[in-house]
Structure 1
Amino acid sequence: MKHLELVELWNSAHTAWAADQPLPDELEAWRASYSGKGKSAIDKAAMPEPWVGDLASKPVAVTMGIHPGVADPAFQHREGAWPNTIQDQHDGSYADWAATGPYFGDVWESAHGVNVHSGHRMRFLSAWTGKDLMPSQVVDFTVYPWHAADWKTNAFKLDPEVLREYVLEPIASTGATWAFGFGKDWWELIEALDLPILDRLGDGGRPYPTQVDHRRWLVAEGPDGLRIAAMRMDSMPIPPTKEETEDLRRVLESGPAGENRKRNMSIELESDLAARLREMDMSYMNITRLMLAIDDVELAVDSWQADEKDDGVALVYRDDVVVTIQPEWADFMTEAPAGTSVSPGTEGNHRLPLPPAATGPAKTTRKVTKEPKPLGMCPECFNVLNPDGSCPMECGE
């Protein structure tokens, strides 16, 4: 389904909902995919919200949520502020109302305060696109458009064809090439729908310069070239900072989910090598700098092995060692490795030069730590702080 067809469908569906009339059969089947009872049941008095934002803005990327959350009767119930606004100011058009970016406006924020959730997503999409997006340009779809006060994941059984026809195909039709979901529900949904997996970043996958070691990404293939990236964390799934988002785009678009440029290492080799480097206590940031340096000099690598002293890693191409990585390199603190060129080493080998560590060799065992329960609140962005007083959005302490 094209996004303009989706607009027509939901405009008519909203008119039916406002008059307390049955929805079209295909939407009733969609609504029936969630079977929560009692406090977890659908709020039938609340308006469904399949997306917010302007679909005509030709977004480069969109965000996605599983469901719209608990409803505020003063806004989302029949005779509430939003249905009245849709009828009085937009001639009954749900799409025209959604295109105004209503959750960033004074009407909503005067009752609920600054919309931190939507603000995070706007900053993330602005960093991804490299543009200062207006609220109407922040397009956010939901997989299940109906409100529920206490959402139960195990009560949701979505038909893959429903997701494709009513969510993913319309997203691709807008011109978006990337769609982002945040939280383990999205990760699990992608795996449950058996979508083709294109890439994995973070622990268990390719490294990228994240400042949160437990941030992980799963990238799947959707219709018409759409790339679906799901992020999960051990704590609140807050989108990364501007700088990390820019690095994330570079890593994703230089991989199998992006421009499909010729790579100097296979995805499997890169993931396996990253796991070995983590055992040497090399940070994700430094592992990524190393990988980018190898790519920058177009150095071919087809395997890795323990070096002669069994305390480092030797990168190999056609049985020749081309780069050696020592534990003392694990903590180098430069903007990027010094390896902008490859210089000949002894006996015909080549070395990618990196600075030595300032504090000596790192341990060679992997550290496994349990993520502490976050406490406190940041006075700048109002997110829950980590126990050490640091803000997950890096606003400060």
Structure 2
Amino acid sequence: MVQNAKSDPSDRAPSRQSRFGLNAANFFQAEAVGVVLPILNTFLKEARWRYDQIGLATALLGLGTLLFQTPAGVLVDRFKNRRLLFFVASIVVGVCFGVIPFVPRSALWIDSLLFLSGVAQSIFIPVLGALALALVGYKALNRTLGENQGWNHVGNIVAALLAFVAVRYFGSASIFYSVAIASLVGAFSVYWMRKEELNEEVASGDGKQPKVKWGTILHDRPVLFLLAAVALFHLANAPILPVTALYIKQLGGSSALTTFTVLSAQLVMVPVAWATGRLCDSWGRKPIMAIAFWVLPFRIFSYILAHSPHMVVSLQALDGIGAGIYSVAIVAFAADLTRGKGQFNSLLGIFATAQAIGGVVGPIVSGLVLQHFGFNMTFLGFAVLALLAAAIFQLLVPNTQSMEAPQAASTVNA
């Protein structure tokens, strides 16, 4: 592998200040958007929107992400000031959600703001992955991702607790103010990372041919199989959180209780993400990711057997296993598949596009099925999709772990 003139940051430990900045960016980005969807659905239901209208609004947020996710990955590969990209995206998200309580609750206003927010959110996955790789390099990447995602999920926990208090005492509209504040703080926190400690060339995949077209990575069969599995995984998973929020209301649960659909999962995600960063090196990427894929169909099907709002909240904790593993392992897969080739962030953008497809199609389908066939048929249909995703991953996706991965540097966590 060709070495850059600037040394690989994995050869040295980053400063505590830079690690704090990266963790803070993950924390506040999660706090900004972590609980907004279930509360948004409740907010729109209180405004007398139909289930299919709510599904369409949620889908438009995902559509904004979908249309710009792959271009966002390419942009992060090409634009070297990644801290600025994160700053701008955070500000846009904060403004979009912050003004929702002040605009007419019509489809034109709400749908437009959600779409623009989705466009801005398309930056987050590739830019945070790029900043982690730029700061610590390949050897310590997985452990750093585990640490970052741990803080990301802590951000979701704090957001859920604050949302519970805010919604209970100030109404569902109060969640949008907290999103605006968290986005503003997160936008500035990324500048705690020291510029001189970021190797922006390594952050693009350290490729020998950095100008190769990003589309060439789609000629790789492991990439295609993983992409198909990821797309189905998120198609099945994306609508389940907002559907469970509505199911809780159907079973007689309170609006405040819906915030715990996020909290129960996030409490599990923190230790799972931390452990995944280490297990990706010792077990390999595929065995740990397979757990995430197989837990999903089991969780979705189990909702059919849940007949109390508190049981639904408890089952939602299983989402913490899948999400905690996926958020770390997918970046490890992308790093392995592009190492020495470049286009790391472009591949992250493509995987995130598959995730966004689920965010668009899933809520539309779930809204229609829910409106016409009810909750049980909705859960059953999406459980079958999740089972198909798990089968494709298990049978067709290889383990991508490189020989150097087990030697991951421990200095980053010293």
Higher strand share: 1
Q: Report the TM range for the smaller structure's normalisation.
A: under 0.3
Higher helix share: 2
State the structure with bigger RCO (CA 8 A, min sep 6), 1 or 2: 2
Computing the radius of gyration from Cα coordinates, the structure with the larger value is 1
